Amino acid sequence: MRHASTIAAIIVAAAAVSAQAVTIGPDAFGYVVTDDVAFDDFWQDISASADGKHIGQNQQDTWARVQIGFDFNFYGTDYRYVNWTDNGLITFGLGNHNTQYSNVDLTAQSPNVDAPTIAVLWDDWVGYETGSGVYHLQTGTEGTRRFIIQWETLDGYVPGGGTASTVTFQATLYEETGEILLLYKDVDAEHLAYNFGIGATVGIRDTGGQKHEYGGNDCNLQWSYNEAVINDGLALEFRIIPEPVTMAGLVLGIGCLARYARKRRRA
């Protein structure tokens, strides 16, 4: 009974700390996602200092692939190559690029390329502005490196011209922890089809990751699908919660949940 009361107290405390945050998951692999991350602590504009700009102005449904520079573990597999498109989509592995501009519900459907995927803000984007495009940068020291991809001043595609305003957003992959951080600087496209993620998918999935009822392995964690819930200054953090196997492990697992609800800074 003492153990039961202790566990209950920990759960209540964790819930109280995280009352203002939204945390979704875990999925079948153990990933959770939270929005209780301070955008201003992490945003780093790399458009001027980037290692490269592989998708530039007026390129549409275009992809790029580079070496990450470290092994990034995603759904239990280490990847050395990352692919991305101007449509806000990341995939991993050689031969796995996906230029599909029409987003899908990751919980119910596989993208055209069934590959390990991060939908950062998957929609039909194109860069019309000077300086628009997709940039990347590797930064940090061995063991704690980060790989950043930034979609800079992109427009929602409209036949005959761009939208009234552009969007800028970013994804960061962390070597040490395997965390994924998605940052949304400006997502007000001033267009009914593109505002605040209304026509976009945001989430992650593994190969065959749709739900079991759709023939998948349930390795998916979707934040939103065609919902206007992606606001300026939003930060989303995806990471794995350790599975508690003992009393000590349970306390550690619940402690991890509580930490999601606190504002944290990385060095």
The residue count for the chain? 267
Which residue in 96, 131, 124 sits closest to 111, CA to CA?
A: 96
Max Cα-Cα span within the chain:
69
CB 177 within 8 A of CB 203: no
Which residue in 236, 232, 227, 220 sits closest to 109, CA to CA?
A: 220
Would you state the pLDDT for residue 204?
98
DSSP structure class, residue 19: T
Would you state the pLDDT for residue 135?
94
For residue 231, CA distances in Å to 39, 153, 206, 234 come to 11, 16, 26, 6
At 61-91, the pLDDT tens digits run 899 999 999 999 999 999 999 999 999 999 9
φ and ψ of 12, to 5 deg: -60, -45
Q: Which two tokens stand for residue 87?
A: 């449509």
Q: What angle do CA 218, 222, 224 make, to 5 degrees?
A: 150
Q: Which two tokens stand for residue 194?
A: 């593109």
Which residue in 220, 219, 209, 176 sits closest to 72, CA to CA?
A: 176
C-beta atoms surrounding 97 within 10 Å: 20
Would you state the pLDDT for residue 266?
41
At 168-189, the pLDDT tens digits run 999 999 999 999 999 999 999 9
φ and ψ of 3, to 5 deg: -60, -45
Q: Which two tokens stand for residue 215?
A: 């023939």
Q: Is 6 helix (H, G, I), strand (E, B) or coil?
A: helix
Would you state the pLDDT for residue 130?
86
Would you state the pLDDT for residue 243?
63
Residues (pLDDT < 70) of the chain are 1-19, 162, 243-267
Would you state the pLDDT for residue 242?
75
Which residue in 31, 36, 4 sits closest to 20, CA to CA?
A: 36
Tell how strand 89-92 and strand 77-85 pair up. antiparallel
